[in-house]
Structure 1
Amino acid sequence: MRFLCSVLALCLLPLFGSAQVTPIDSAAGSTAPPPPTSRTGIRGWFEPRDKPNLIPLPFVFAQQETGFAGGLSILPVWRFGKDTTVRKSNARLFAWVSQEGQSTAQLTHTIFTKGEKLLFSGELSHYNQELFFYGIGNETSRSRESTLSYKLLIFDQKALARVRPNLFAGVRYRLTNTTDIEPVGTDNEGRLHSFLSDPRVSARERQNTFVSGFGPAVLYDSRDNVLATYRGWFVDAYGTVNRRWTGSDFHFTRYQLDVRHFRPLFGSTNTILALNFIGQFHGGNVPFRELGGMAENLSSALFNYASIMRGIYELRFRDRQTVAFQGEIRQKLFWRIDGAVFAGVGEVGNRVSDLELDKTKIAGGAGLRFRFNRRDRLNIRLDYAGGSNSPGTFFLALGEAF
């Protein structure tokens, strides 16, 4: 999702950023700590400094498809229990409405239980939007740009148990319901809408589509912080089957591998190298909305909340097989301000054999980060990026790209 301006949110950053600072006792001459208090109910789940902050953050933005829009976002970060070796959990709840009547409501979460015995990660989202559709494949033309309107419900959940430190295994379930699919107008050159003319989009895909599937999932996660990592590995692998007996209108299988590595450079955490590889592969009859693609942001849980190939329009290239590699250098600048430079390469294809080096797409850019929550390393990032067949644009988002 491309946020081109966010004036209200930026004006309020110092106010909300200061709300995240843990208060310090300034009383002088104290000889003994205050007597412990008994916390019961939900308050007893957290240490006082680790309880979630539920202050809403208003924001406004504008983009070509929506016009001006505004909404609210709540970004709690917390830790269950007193064990500080347990990584903090986080969630994001936001909703917005545009002047064109489009809207989004989304809840995402990554939850570590006490002792990291269980890990839950996923999303529940509803979208009522218009996005540009260019067709299916790695060589689609900008002249085929067409506006496609639809409503989308997503429920995606991983439930994992710890096998050993940092290693989890379990199941993943994903449901999507795409309705009210409506091609709007013609393509850029006045021809038949690309969604109606693309031979790889079947008549059945142009109707309401319900997809439901599940399968095994394995995760190795040694990151020191899931919001802005300094060091560690993240390796997520899963497969899902979508069949009639799982409730799906379409029968296909998905396999996905997401590998990330983070390390400090030059002996300090002032400079961080971040690397990411994504591979998503399908077999069977995959509806257009479930195809993999570059610049995938709309379904955040699908790629573990990563923004892939920033600088290329959202799902500008989509197909049954997707591979992408991206890297980023994050640099501490001053106060709460950090900088970043990034680049990526990737490709989509109908078959794995279609993926060829000379068809690779590229994207890259640079940006600034504001440390909205210093204690938990929660950043707001402003990036400028461009890529293959996509003009440069600004992106404003919460959290790192991966």
Structure 2
Amino acid sequence: MRKNLICCFLLLCSFFNGRAQEQIAVQKDSLQQDSVQEKRIKFAIYPALGYSPETKVNIGTIAFFVFNTKSKNPTFHRPSSITPYIVFTTNKQVLIKSDFDLFFGNGMNLNMEARVFDFPDNYYGIGSETDPDVVEQYTDRYVAMSGTLLKPVTPQWFGGIRFDFQYNNITDLLDSGLLETDVPVGIEGGRNMGLGPAFRNDTRNSTLWPTHGRFINARAAFYGKAFGGEYNYGSFLFDYRQYFEFLGPKSVLAIQFRMNLTSGDAPFYKLPKMGGGGRLRGIEHRNLYRDRQLMYFQVEARQELFWRFGGVIFAGVGEVFDSFSEFGTDKIRAVYGLGGRFRALKDEKLNFRMDLGFTDNGQHAFYLSVREAF
């Protein structure tokens, strides 16, 4: 089995003495009291150093911004957050990414991810029976911006639009390699432009570290030339999450069921994937299992420990398949693992997370990320 466990990771963030830069700016006054807005901004920045067999030495920086805005309509109030980071590797790879979860004074929510990648990627084929030892590496340079813009209908129900814009430049294919043999849709890269409806039900008590409540996200996107894209297909997502307090106020049980369905000629790099840091952790590479349809279920127990540290244990099952007629329990993959947490900001539960996962067929993977997996 090809090794992909990150064998060395070091955060140069002075965990034990909290030397991260934290800045707080409080309160903006205006001349009229009914238009006063109080803002509290929390900021921290951490350098990081890591290593993996695929990328060699990684040097990067990550920042955290969490801020609150009081408005005339506090019913819809939730904290906003931005987490940008940049990573360079000794393999001359670059990854720039930022997550935005912004809540405005009128309750509207912009949840968006912006990415610029210049990164070698792996292609294993399509389906649930791909082999981690049979792989082709190619170069995928792409820029992407995707997310949802939602307006509150009630304090818990939101409706709006889903947007997804991405451009891929795929190069360095092997002669007679897997990609040239399979010739999947999207082998030449190009533009993907999609729009569609989005709905959300959110009763969580926190967007950063929920201890109780429910989160339901349902959205669809339709891609095609009408939006300036080069591929015609549709994508549907249903994501259900539930959070429970158990064994005391510092213990949380989180569950998630996710279903990703596609129709039409979706490029291979836009097909649903089962692995990754926010999906079933433990699968050797995020691209190992992907197909037109995806379903998985996972559960995680989270525990605050001491100071800013915490820990989790997790497990999950899932499957990718071309159509529902091919779905079968004999192809289901199972994962399990554990992880550590470090609160990046003193007064906000926005965490660094480090997870180690394993699969039922002998794979393993290590993840470093920000925010909880779900």
Whether TM-score is above 0.5 comes out as yes
Matches within 5 A, 1:31-50: 38=29, 47=38, 50=40
Q: 1:390 to 1:254 in 2, by over 3 A?
A: farther
Contact 1:237 1:257 in 2 (8 A): yes
Tell me which moved more, 7-16 or 355-364.
7-16
**Greater share of helix residues, 1 or 2?**
1
The residue aligned with 2:157 is: 167
Indicate how the Cα distance of structure 1 residues 39 and 101 shifts in structure 2: closer, same or farther if over 3 A, else same: farther
- 1:253 corresponds to which letter in structure 2? G
In 2, Cα distance between the equivalents of 1:3 and 1:364?
A: 17
**Unaligned stretches of 5+ in structure 1?**
24-35, 186-191, 298-306
Find the partner of 2:240 among 251, 259, 262: 259
Q: Does 1:140 align with 2:133?
A: no
Matched with 1:391 is: 363
Confirm whether residue 356 of structure 1 aligns to residue 325 of structure 2: no
Shifted more, 77-86 versus 366-375: the winner is 77-86
Aligned to 2:59: 70
- Aligned-pair CA distance for 1:226: 1.3
Partners of 2:360 and 2:117 in 1: CA distance: 27
Which string of whole-angstrom CA distances, capped at 9 and with x for unpartnered residues, describes residues 239-297 of structure 1? 1111211112111011110111101013x222110001110001101111110011245
Structure 2 residue 50 is the aligned partner of structure 1 residue 79: no
Quote the offset at 1:195 in angstroms: 2.0
**Partner of residue 91, structure 1:** 82
Partner of 1:220: 201
Q: 1:13 to 1:76 in 2, by over 3 A?
A: farther
The answer (yes or no) to whether the contact 1:336–1:370 under 8 Å persists in 2 is yes
The answer to whether the aligner puts 1:311 opposite 2:301 as a matched pair is: no
**Residue 249 in structure 1 maps to residue 230 in structure 2:** yes
Matched, 1:122 2:106: no
3-state SS, counterpart of residue 183 of structure 1: coil
Match of residue 181 from structure 2: 197
Deviation at 1:159, TM superposition (A): 1.0
SS at match of 2:305: strand
Change (3 A) 1:94 1:4: farther
Q: Identify the residue that residue 57 of structure 1 maps to in structure 2.
A: 46
Aligned to 2:292: 320
Q: Which amino acid aligns with 2:67?
A: W
C-alpha deviation, 1:148, in angstroms: 2.2
Q: Determine if the alignment matches structure 1 residue 339 to structure 2 residue 311.
A: yes
CA contact 1:171–1:215 (8 Å) conserved in 2: yes
Question: 3-state SS of the aligned residue for 1:379?
Answer: strand
- Say if 1:143 and 1:6 are closer, same or farther in 2 by CA, change over 3 A: closer
CA gap 1:257/1:170 in 2 versus in 1, 3 angstroms:
same
1:9 aligns with 2:12: yes
Partner of 1:282: 262
Instruction: Rate the CA distance shift 1:235–1:361 in 2: closer, same or farther, 3 A.
Output: same
Aligned to 1:15, what secondary structure does the other structure show? coil
Q: Distance in 2 between matches of 1:341 and 1:375?
A: 24
Deviations 1:214-258 (A, max 9, x none): 000001111111122111111000111112111121110111101
Q: 1:359 to 1:144 in 2, by over 3 A?
A: same
Matched, 1:229 2:210: yes
- The percent identity for this pair of structures is 25
Alpha-carbon contact 2:174-2:180 (below 8 Å) kept:
no
CA distance in 2, matches of 1:63, 1:37: 46
Partner Cα separation in structure 2 for residue 163 and residue 2 of structure 1: 45
1:176 aligns with 2:166: yes
The more displaced of 318-327 and 349-358 is 349-358
The equivalent position to 2:272 in structure 1, one of 260, 269, 292, is: 292
Contact 1:231 1:264 in 2 (8 A): yes
Range moving further from structure 2, 148-157 or 329-338: 329-338
Instruction: In structure 1, give the amino acid aligned to 2:271.
Output: L
- Rounded Cα–Cα distance in structure 2 between residues aligned with 1:14 and 1:292: 41
Q: Secondary structure at the match of 1:11?
A: coil
TM-score (norm 1): 0.84
Cα distance in 1 for residues equivalent to 2:265 and 2:306: 51
Change (3 A) 1:13 1:280: farther
Distance verdict in 2 for CA 1:222–1:374, change over 3 Å = farther
What is the CA-CA distance between 1:374 and the residue it aligns to?
3.8
Distance 1:18 1:153, change over 3 A: closer
Aligned alpha-carbon RMSD (Å): 2.6
Deviation at 1:10, TM superposition (A): 4.5
Greater alpha carbon shift after TM alignment, 390-399 vs 338-347: 390-399
Asked if structure 1 preserves the Cα contact closer than 8 Å seen for 2:25 and 2:41, the reply is no
Letter aligned with residue 52 of structure 2: Q
Offset at residue 21 of structure 1 (A): 9.0
Q: Give the paired residue count.
A: 365
Alpha-carbon offset, residue 68 of structure 1: 0.7
State the distance in 2 between where 1:216 and 1:124 align. 20
Matched to 1:59, the amino acid is A
Alignment CA distance shift 1:129-1:46 (3 Å) = farther
On the 8 A contact 2:24/2:41 being kept in 1, the answer is no
Is 1:369 aligned to 2:341, yes or no? yes
Give the aligned partner of residue 329 of structure 1: 301
Structure 2, unpaired ranges of 5+:
none
